[in-house]
Every structure is written in structure tokens, then in C-alpha cells.
Chains A and B, each alone.
Chain A
Amino acid sequence: MDNLYSLTAGELLSLLDKKSVKPEEIIESVYSRAQSVDKKIKGYIHLDKEKALDQGKSLPAAGRLRGIPVAIKDNICVEGELTTCASKILRGFKPPYNATVIEKLKSEGAIICGRTNMDEFAFGSSCENSSYYPTLNPWDTGRIPGGSSGGSAAVVSADEAIMALGSDTGGSIRQPASLCGVVGMKPTYGRVSRYGLIAFASSLDQIGPLTKDVKDAALLLGVIAGYDGKDSTSVNIPVPDYLGYLKNDVKGMKIGIPKEYFVSGMDKEVEGSVKEAIALLKGKGAQIVDVSLPHTEYAVAVYYILATAEASSNLARFDGIQYGYRCADPENLLDLYERTRGEGFGAEAKRRIILGTYVLSSGYYDAYYLKAQKVRTLIKNDFERVFESGCDCILTPTSPTPAFKIGERVLDPLSMYLSDIFTISVNLAGVPGLSIPCGFTKNGLPIGMQLIGNFFKEEKLFRIAYTYESNTDWHKRSPGL
């Protein structure tokens, strides 16, 4: 038999059904794998094997994820376990409650196997903004894994976890999934409860799965999705049986190709792989049509106004009073606030809080914040128009380039922001997006494509992705570690 750590959740669950493996064998296998490779990858921040084995002792017999080790991004609250957003300001913080997604995972028997590294407070696209250490790309450890859910993508890619949760505000699940060669999905805004997700930008954040294949993504989303009275922005629409939509058949499905996402100057290997994927789906009977999302060029600008404005407000709570870091010997309350935050936040967090405060400040609100909200409407309208014209999905590259080198964009925040150029609009509109491996560069770096769906139509994305995956074997490759 293959090493257990290299299998998918779907494969492991059928072995568990046949009683040919025990949950503790899976946990042992995943932990010994993590022990041997995480020195090179540094995808985890906290790992606790004894707690994982304890969780494995009493599993619900019919749990949809019984015995499956799931890694959790460090910004999702787990009761009594360190949850730090990879920030110094939250060092030592142990939440007094579970996020709703954690309750759901536990009630289905999942094993919370460790906490994954991220850009501090999810601010970044490379995992270099972690206050602990950068995570490295399993396919080339001289390169970044993407971000901000870079740890989650890297540990799934390196077989150090069977599946993982991340969060996505502007591409933070899809971009690292693409750069690490795994499947990642940002669900429709409101599909998954944000209760217990430490907020970055509340009108954009969603929690979603990072997995080894499409079936596992459908399985994991099915577990975490659903209305939650504790999140007033979660939407009360029944959760479909996503697994039931996994058919190798796209006949008659209409796929839109937006011209704004295939511009001159984009990476030739990325463009080539995505165009081959389009041809494959066409060969399987999908109808390919040209579409336009005319306000695409404004998305990054809109995003960095709205997301930083929301972040500056959300991060006001980290003030050294109720939890986390507090500066030594404050002279007075103002000094306590200013030094706690000056010493506790990393450079990118400070930069974003200052930008967000600036665009909300008196005299600039109309020119930046209100203007950005209006252009957000135009971007959302673009998507609505395409889906009203009958498209089942929109297909684009996930990232304009494969994984870039460590340090390459650190000194130029704008170049880092532009690495999310294909994923950001999806959060602004609120629609779902999925990234799936669709090839490799000559140097062996993964390339991903993005499928964008209409509101609450994740099942269509799973269907198209499953068909593509069933006719390719990119997802079966693994990095030689």
C-alpha cells in the first residue's frame, strides 16, 4: 500500500470503511511525514501529535471526516489552542471558543492536526510576512508558496496534512493553491460562517478548503458550509450534496473566457497551460464563449482601498488590554496603545492600517473609500452580466506567474499586491472561485487555473473541475521531498 500520508481523504475514508486502516495509523503516518519534511518547508507553526491522537480515540462512527487530519490556518480560532495570525501581537493567545468551522469539523470526526503559517493577519501573497519564518514552496524551496494561506497550501502539497482550511480575502486560498499545485476554493461570500475567523476585511473574507483533489474539496466544503446564527452575514440557503455533482461530463455547459485576463505580457507558460485546459474542456463538449469583464483593471485599486479600510477598523481591537502582547512599562494609556501596536505589528500590518486609516480620514473618504465602493458595484455588475448571459463558469489563470523567488517582491509592496490581480475581483463581487492544477512550467513549477461561478453555484465549479481532473493527471504529481 502507498504511504497513508500520500492518500486523499476520499481514499482514506474508504480504507477506514473496510477497516483496513485505523485512525491512529493515519495520524502516525501524517506526523512522521511532517516530522521529516517540515524542516524544509516550515508550513506549520504549531503541531501537537498527542492532542491529535487523543482526538482520534473517540470518533463519531458516521462522521464524514472521521479520522482525517486537517491542518488549520493560524487565523481560525480553536478553543484553548494557540491561534496567533502569525503575529507577535497575538503571541500566546488561546481563544476561549471554537470557530463554527472547527465545531463542524469536530462533529464530523476530523482531527485538527496543526496550525499553518500565513502572512501576518493574512496581509500578503507570499508567506514572507509571517512573524515566525517564511514558508517555502515544496516544489522549489528557493521560492515562495504563495499567500496568505501559504502554510496550508504547502502542507497539503507536501503530504504533511490530508487537507487544510485557509481563508481568502483577495486570493489567499486560490493563489497559494495554484503556486503549490493543489485544489483551493473560496466559496461564495456568506456560504461559510466567519464566526471565529479573526477578521481582516469583513465584507471580503471567506474560509475555504485546500485539498489534493476536487472530490476532497467538495467533501470539505460540504462539511463547513451552511447558515450560522453567530455570523449575521452567513446566508440561509440549503447546502447541496456537492459530491453528487462530481460527474465526468461538461456537455452543454457554457464557459466564458474574459479577454481582460489574457493580456499581452502575461507569462507564456501560464497562458499556454490555461489555453490547453480550455481546449480540453471544449473537446469534452463544453461550449466556450468570449466574455468581457470591463472593469477588471480597477480591481486591485478598489481592493487595496476597501480591504485596508476594513482592516484598519478590524485591527483596532489589538490594543494590549484584553489579550495578546502589551508593551513594557507604559507611561500612560496612549503610550500603551501606541507602543503595543508599534512593537506588536509587523511592517505590512502597519502599512495597511495606515493606508486604511488614511483613506477613511476626513477629507479623503469621498475620493477613495466611497469611490472604491462605487467601482465595486461596477465590478460586481460585470460578473452578474456574464452569468445572466447563461455562462456556467468563467475560466482564467489563477495567478499571472508561477511561484516567484523568496525576497523578489518584499521591498515593493505594489508588485506584491499585483500578484493577486486575477483573484481579487472575485472577492469584490462575492462570487465563488476555485483553483485547480492545470500544468507545470519547464522548471517544474505548478500552474493553476481559476474557475469562477455564480453566487451559490459552487457545485457547477466542482463538476467542471472534476471533469478536467478526470482527464488529466497533474494532481497526481508530487514534489520530490
Chain B
Amino acid sequence: MSIKEEKVRYVARLARIKLTDEEVSLFSRQLDGILGYVDKLNQKLGEQSRIPPTNHPHTASNPFRADEVKPSLKSEAALANAPQKRGDFFKVPRIIEE
């Protein structure tokens, strides 16, 4: 499988990253090479339908804790790094079109 420039633009849109034309062309070539390399999983190893996938090194069970109220971040601390804020809120461009 190879990755065309059009595909790179599409995926960049999914990932919410604006790319320059130079980046699209460079990444398309580089990702083509990388995908060619990782394709050996498909070329050399068969379907592996009986092998369970591993998503975590340990057999994970969901850890639960007691449902207790504990102190959490104060809103001034949570807002301290905001690029733009107003009062107790993060400030963002208008979301709902007029």
C-alpha cells in the first residue's frame, strides 16, 4: 500500500493539522517508505486469525477506587496556562455559526 499526496491531505485534515504543500509532498514520499517497510507484517505473516491482540503488557482488569470526594484543581490553576481566557472560562472562537 502506498500513500498518495491526496491521502496525506485527507489524513492531515482528520488529525487537524495544516500542512504546507512542501510538507505534503515530503511526508507522502517518507510515509510511502515507512509503510513499505511495515507492510512486511502483511507480506511475511499470514492472517494470524487465532492470535489474540495485545493492547497492554499486563492482563488489564479495570481498577476501581472508592467513590469519595477529594480536592481537585482550582479553576485559577486550571486556567493559568490558557492562551486566552475571560473570567472563569477558556476563550475560543465562535462555535455556532450565525
A215 close to chain B: CB less than 8 A: no
By beta carbon, the residue of chain A nearest B44 is: A298
A133 close to chain B: CB less than 8 A: no
Which residues 387-443 of A sit at the B interface, judged by CB distance below 8 A? 412-414, 417, 429-430
B57 close to chain A: CB less than 8 A: yes
- The reply to whether A333 and B92 contact each other, CB–CB distance below 8 Å, is yes
In whole angstroms, how far apart are the Cα atoms of A319 and B17 in the complex? 10
B87 close to chain A: CB less than 8 A: no
Flag B40-66 by CB within 8 Å of A: 1 or 0 each. 111011001001111111101011010
In whole angstroms, how far apart are the Cα atoms of A341 and B73 in the complex? 26
Residues of B with C-beta under 8 A to A321? 82-83, 90, 92
By beta carbon, the residue of chain A nearest B16 is: A337
Known: A203-B55, A342-B18, A361-B11. A304 touches B34 (CB 8 A): yes
A47 close to chain B: CB less than 8 A: no
In whole angstroms, how far apart are the Cα atoms of A413 and B29 in the complex? 11
Residues of B with C-beta under 8 A to A301? 37-41
A222 close to chain B: CB less than 8 A: no
Q: Name the distance in Å between B43's Cβ and chain A's nearest Cβ.
A: 10
- The reply to whether A430 and B57 contact each other, CB–CB distance below 8 Å, is yes
- The reply to whether A373 and B55 contact each other, CB–CB distance below 8 Å, is yes
Residues of B with C-beta under 8 A to A243? none
In whole angstroms, how far apart are the Cα atoms of A342 and B20 in the complex? 9
In whole angstroms, how far apart are the Cα atoms of A195 and B61 in the complex? 19
Chain B interface size, under 10 / 10 to 19 / 20 to 34 / 35 or more: 35 or more
A263 close to chain B: CB less than 8 A: no
Residues of B with C-beta under 8 A to A414? 30, 33-34, 37
In whole angstroms, how far apart are the Cα atoms of A50 and B48 in the complex? 58
Q: Name the distance in Å between B86's Cβ and chain A's nearest Cβ.
A: 13
- The reply to whether A229 and B65 contact each other, CB–CB distance below 8 Å, is yes
Q: Name the distance in Å between A76's Cβ and chain B's nearest Cβ.
A: 17
- The reply to whether B84 and A326 contact each other, CB–CB distance below 8 Å, is yes
A13 close to chain B: CB less than 8 A: no
- The reply to whether B37 and A233 contact each other, CB–CB distance below 8 Å, is no
Q: Name the distance in Å between A374's Cβ and chain B's nearest Cβ.
A: 4
By beta carbon, the residue of chain B nearest A431 is: B57
| Residue with the greatest number of chain A CB neighbours at <10 A, chosen from B23, B44, B53 | B53
A139 close to chain B: CB less than 8 A: no
Q: Name the distance in Å between A423's Cβ and chain B's nearest Cβ.
A: 15
- The reply to whether B17 and A374 contact each other, CB–CB distance below 8 Å, is no
- Cross-interface CB contact of B81 among A232, A323, A361, cutoff 8 Å: A323
Q: Name the distance in Å between A28's Cβ and chain B's nearest Cβ.
A: 32
Residues of A with C-beta under 8 A to B65? 229
Q: Is the interface of A mostly helix, strand, loop or mixed?
A: helix
In whole angstroms, how far apart are the Cα atoms of A403 and B82 in the complex? 40
Residues of B with C-beta under 8 A to A319? 16
Chain A interface size, under 10 / 10 to 19 / 20 to 34 / 35 or more: 35 or more
- The reply to whether A367 and B82 contact each other, CB–CB distance below 8 Å, is no
Residues of B with C-beta under 8 A to A345? 17
- Cross-interface CB contact of A354 among B17, B58, B77, B92, cutoff 8 Å: B17
Known: A355-B34, A413-B34. A377 touches B27 (CB 8 A): no
Residues of A with C-beta under 8 A to B52? 374, 377
Q: Name the distance in Å between B56's Cβ and chain A's nearest Cβ.
A: 5
In whole angstroms, how far apart are the Cα atoms of A322 and B41 in the complex? 39
Residues of B with C-beta under 8 A to A232? 62-63
In whole angstroms, how far apart are the Cα atoms of A376 and B55 in the complex? 8
- The reply to whether B81 and A97 contact each other, CB–CB distance below 8 Å, is no
Residues of B with C-beta under 8 A to A374? 48, 51-54
Residues of B with C-beta under 8 A to A341? 15-18
| Residue with the greatest number of chain B CB neighbours at <10 A, chosen from A325, A341, A358 | A358
- The reply to whether A324 and B51 contact each other, CB–CB distance below 8 Å, is no
Residues of A with C-beta under 8 A to B69? none
Residues of A with C-beta under 8 A to B81? 92-94, 96, 322-324
By beta carbon, the residue of chain A nearest B91 is: A321
Known: A345-B17, A377-B51. A355 touches B31 (CB 8 A): yes
In whole angstroms, how far apart are the Cα atoms of A368 and B38 in the complex? 8
In the complex, besides A233-B56, A322-B82, A355-B34, 19 extra interface pairs with C-beta distance below 8 angstroms are A93-B81, A96-B73, A203-B56, A232-B62, A301-B41, A304-B37, A322-B78, A325-B83, A330-B93, A334-B16, A336-B93, A338-B16, A342-B18, A361-B11, A371-B45, A374-B48, A375-B48, A377-B52, A430-B58
- A-B contacts, 14 listed (Cβ < 8 Å): A93-B81, A96-B78, A233-B58, A301-B37, A301-B39, A319-B16, A341-B18, A374-B51, A374-B53, A377-B52, A377-B54, A378-B51, A414-B33, A414-B37
- Interface residues of chain A, those whose CB is within 8 Å of chain B, are 92-94, 96-97, 189-190, 203, 229, 232-233, 235, 297-298, 300-302, 304-305, 312, 316, 319-326, 330-339, 341-343, 345, 347, 350-351, 353-355, 357-358, 361, 364, 367-368, 370-378, 380, 412-414, 417, 429-430, 455
